[in-house]
Structure 1
Amino acid sequence: MPEPAVAVPADRAAPLCQNCGTPLLGPHCYRCGQPVTGLVRHFSSIVGDFLDSVLNLDTRIFRTLWPLLARPGYLSREYFAGRRVRYVSPVRLFVFLSIVTFFVAQLTISFGDETLRLESQERFAQATTIAAVEQLRNQTLQELARARAQIPGNVPGARAGVDAGAAAVRANADKRIAELRAAAARGEPPATVGDATKPELIFNGRPWDPVANPVHVRWLPGFANRWINQQVEKGRDNIAELKKDPDRLKNAVLGALPSTLFVLLPIFALMLKLAYLFKRRLYMEHLIVALHSHAFLCLALLLVFAFSALGTALPRLGAFAATAEGLLFAWMPLSLLLTQKRVYGQGWTMTLLKYAVLGVCYLVLLSLGVAFTVLASLVWA
């Protein structure tokens, strides 16, 4: 059957498709499907197209977030029923929420108070007399008091953080004084710790040393063993640096977690496929459930970070923020359980059993992924 002729205005010729020569009627060729615009154009327009296709979020986001948070399994069932256009697509939803959540986590989570506590504990542990502990305590508290006086009054939570550090200093000093008095009562010399700038690594019952006691795997060639010992030395040096600035480790872990979740997503969908093998659902259906579940966790964590920041900025609302955080943490596993029950429609006994098995297996995988991320950050940071 011959194709209908294309009407072309008499005053100008229609542009032709560069692939098949057909007159163009829009941004795509209706015969071969090739788009008019390719990659040979201004880079700014390519970036704009990428952001539009990946993070194109309009008013549908408001119709999506509330059911995602408060109606377990609703979005997945709507998607399977064919009602998709009114909601943000699962992929875009997860990408958007994961980026925003871990960006906010970078801003709100800090190990600064823990750094001060560990540093003061190590410094006090090196003191051998009560007078030395008291002198170090008073000097540190004076430095903190001067720092506190210089903090502007409009910086939320800053003075509270300094006060928490001062309390940690007093507690560590009191603990060291009690240890010194107990050692004196027993007639024993006080126990001390050495310089902990570089932690001691034990290998074959002896401290690791790249020359005297290196890691040696017999079946590996010499260059591989040398590479392993180089990584061990890098890891030891990085541990020392992380003790000075633990936020480096936090930033590395939070920066790698989104990619870890992307890797675990298809694995979790495969686990759902195996758990509900006799339901005869397509793998992509399980992937949709996995995407909505992970997006829900990101949204819940984002709200936890928001309430935590609210409690820090407004101490009067601290009790309310803490209650909201507790409710969100309790709602996360319950919502995932209800999602599994409503989407797959099995009885409570089988749902609880499969939920427990899937949860344990996924937590193991997530723990291994996080552990690998931490080790990688220690070696290659």
Structure 2
Amino acid sequence: MPHEPVASSEPPAPQVARCANCGTPLQGPWCHRCGQEAHDPLTRFRGAVHEMFENVLHFDGRIWNTLLPLYTRPGFLTGEYLAGRRVRYVAPLKLMFFLAIIAFLVLRMGLELGPPPVAVNGAAALFARAPDAAAVSRLRASENANIARALAQPGLPTVARAPLLRTQRQIDQAARQRLAQLAGHAAAPASAIVAAAAPPPGAPVRIEGPAPAPGTHPGWLLRHLRQGLQSGAQHPRRLMIGVLRLLPQTMLVLLPLFALVLKIAFPRRLYMEHLIVALHSHAFAFLDLIVLAVLGMLADWAAPVVPLATLLGWLGTAAGWWLVIYPLLMQRRVYRQSWPAAVAVYLAIGTVYALMLTTAIVLALGVSLWH
């Protein structure tokens, strides 16, 4: 008679969770073999959104653990990184590049959103075509009346008021410039202008030929740079945008050079340690530039509200001084120096770095003028 199978009294073995990517048994929320996270982002909408931003920014929540100590505690992040406590913070190279990109975008936005060089409604062009002072006065009164009506609207927000006041100042400036031009033309008679333009009797006649091709005449370089300087003087905002476009490349050169300067000043430390100091110090500089640019734009928009504009101005001044004081405090904390030694080395390194930065900016300015 066949024996019936006896049911086992032992509980079934628990099912081992495995990595969906490589099949390795999981021992935590991450696979120790391939590094993939255990949770499935497709099961919840929140997980899918988190996965999307994580893949784009690669920061998770570490960015919030990094920015506050970076700005308020000089040298803290560098000390944590050199001590091996790194998982809670964004890596120095990634942090520096992220803040550099944001800083350049904010600075460029500030330049592009700044007061336009020409008044709205073609006022500057109308002033340029005004034949006499009376026409200039009529145009000025008409444009200012339009702005006055806009400012008198009830409930006009401060954000809209600041550009109107700025445009009013531009209209007054354009009118004054046209009046000065008309006064200058009136002071110089037409006969004097013709006499000055005519060559003196017996002078050799100079016949201008076709312009030489670039590189075939010794003065072509100076002529090209002179034209670039004139264009930059007429369009300073465009020139600054061109410089900002080249600054990321210059930072790639300045970073290792600055770390080399630190290596010369502190030869007992490894070069990579100085490179981490350079990355964190430049990351702070970009973060402070972001703060300065945002405060400047807010102060510009809040110009009609005097108390708020004053407060923003004081905050901007404090952020500017923090940009100077921060490297000294960071250097003293990382390299553990006394105050006299820290100040002396800080002044020496600051002088060298100022020369390097000035050279880089001049080169970027020259390339921008060239193009």
The 5 Å alignment of 1:182-201 reads none
- The answer to whether 1:261 aligns with 2:266 is no
Counterpart in the other structure of 2:236: 246
Q: CA RMSD in A?
A: 4.7
Gap runs ≥5 in structure 1: 1-22, 34-48, 194-208, 215-221
Deviations 1:118-145 (A, max 9, x none): xx99x999x9xxx945644653564565
- The answer to whether 1:165 aligns with 2:156 is no
Q: CA deviation at 1:308?
A: 2.0
- What CA distance in whole angstroms lies between the structure 2 residues aligned with 1:272 and 1:347? 17
Aligned partner letter, 2:249: S
Q: CA deviation at 1:355?
A: 1.2
* 8 Å CA contact retained: 1:270, 1:283: yes
Q: CA deviation at 1:102?
A: 1.1
Counterpart in the other structure of 2:277: 289
Q: CA deviation at 1:290?
A: 0.7
Counterpart in the other structure of 2:319: 328
- The answer to whether 1:298 aligns with 2:286 is yes
Deviations 1:164-185 (A, max 9, x none): 31343466578779x97xx98x
Q: CA deviation at 1:358?
A: 1.5
* 8 Å CA contact retained: 2:140, 2:175: no
Counterpart in the other structure of 1:362: 353
- What CA distance in whole angstroms lies between the structure 2 residues aligned with 1:89 and 1:210? 61
- What CA distance in whole angstroms lies between the structure 2 residues aligned with 1:54 and 1:226? 51
Counterpart in the other structure of 1:14: none
Aligned partner letter, 1:163: Q
Counterpart in the other structure of 2:96: 94
Aligned partner letter, 1:75: L
Measured at CA, do residues 359 and 53 of structure 1 come closer, stay the same or move farther in structure 2, by a change above 3 Å? Answer: farther
* 8 Å CA contact retained: 2:111, 2:241: no
- What CA distance in whole angstroms lies between the structure 1 residues aligned with 2:106 and 2:247? 13
Q: CA deviation at 1:307?
A: 1.6
Tell me the number of residue pairs that the alignment of Structure 1 and Structure 2 aligns: 311
Q: CA deviation at 1:256?
A: 1.5
- What CA distance in whole angstroms lies between the structure 1 residues aligned with 2:209 and 2:336? 59
* 8 Å CA contact retained: 1:144, 1:162: no
Higher Cα radius of gyration: 2
Q: CA deviation at 1:53?
A: 7.9
TM-score relative to the length of structure 1: 0.65
TM-score relative to the length of structure 2: 0.67
- The answer to whether 1:371 aligns with 2:367 is no
- The answer to whether 1:275 aligns with 2:277 is no
Counterpart in the other structure of 1:204: none
* Percent identity for Structure 1 against Structure 2: 33
Gap runs ≥5 in structure 2: 1-21, 35-50, 194-207
- What CA distance in whole angstroms lies between the structure 1 residues aligned with 2:109 and 2:102? 11
* 8 Å CA contact retained: 2:140, 2:172: no
Counterpart in the other structure of 2:203: none
Measured at CA, do residues 111 and 242 of structure 1 come closer, stay the same or move farther in structure 2, by a change above 3 Å? Answer: farther
The range that moved more, 140-149 or 238-247, is 140-149
Q: CA deviation at 1:371?
A: 1.6
